[in-house]
Amino acid sequence: MTDAPTSAAPRVAFVTGGSRGIGRATVLALARAGHPVGFCYAHDTEAADATVRDAQAIGVNVAAVRADVADTKDVDAAFEEIEQALGPVTVLVNNAGITRDGLIARMSDEHWNDVLDANLTGAFHTIRRATRSMMKARYGRIVNVSSVGGQMGNAGQANYAAAKAGLLGLSRSVARELAPRGITCNVVALGPIVTAMTEALADDWRARAEAAVPLGRFGTADECAAVIAFLCSDAASYVTGALVPVDGGMGMGH
């Protein structure tokens, strides 16, 4: 027997980096699944407000808070605000991340630490905080957003690839530790995705990137969000510790 709720409606979701791109698409996908959704964002208040409006239009309760996931106090404050507004968080999606690209010989300590803090340590902070309510409910879904670069590596992104690879070890350790409490933890490894950043890249770079993908195109934020939402659902209750690629076949074999 379990104290977990029997429908998505009471299961409050928290998405980090939820104001734009894949995070925004995930907030909306979870809202369509019936979850009250809270999300945090770093800087773009205008985009966060737009995401709130669009999620509210779906018909669920939504809350947004500005927070730096690399800062433990910010994470604790964000959870307190979201949980006061919506209720205990039992679904967590770690999407927040940054890049500070550069060749390894010239990469500064600051750029290394910034990326590891935001992309890996930030996920540790939110998972640690979320497990309070998940363990009490004996129910939880955790999805960590990684990258095909975490398995394949990428020149000029040693910090980013290291952080994204680290998410796999973190997730599988969490999956083993929390499975007896009915909590799953999985990773999605994304390939090239259409975002504002990739849209601004030179045509020749985009052409080379597309050529490396067996399906011959970039993925969309909605395609990523659909897989994330599945892993947050009851349909994925027997999936934990998995690395799920959403990369058009780019990383097969890794």
**Residue in 41, 139, 160, 238 annotated catalytic:** 160
Concatenating the DSSP letter of every residue in 112-140 gives HHHHHIIIIIHHHHHHHHHHHHHHHHT-E
Catalytic residue flag (residue 41): no
Q: Are 62 and 36 in contact (CB under 8 A)?
A: yes
CB burial of residue 126 (10 Å; 0-12, 13-18, 19+): buried
Sheet containing 89-94: order of strands: 62-66, 37-41, 12-16, 89-94, 140-147, 183-190, 243-246
Own/partner contacts of 105-113, CB < 8 Å, gap of 24 or more, are 107/158, 107/159, 111/159, 112/158, 112/159
Q: Which two tokens stand for residue 24?
A: 């925004």
Q: Which two tokens stand for residue 37?
A: 């959704």
Q: Which helix (H) or strand (E) holds 12?
A: strand 12-16
The residues that are catalytic are 160
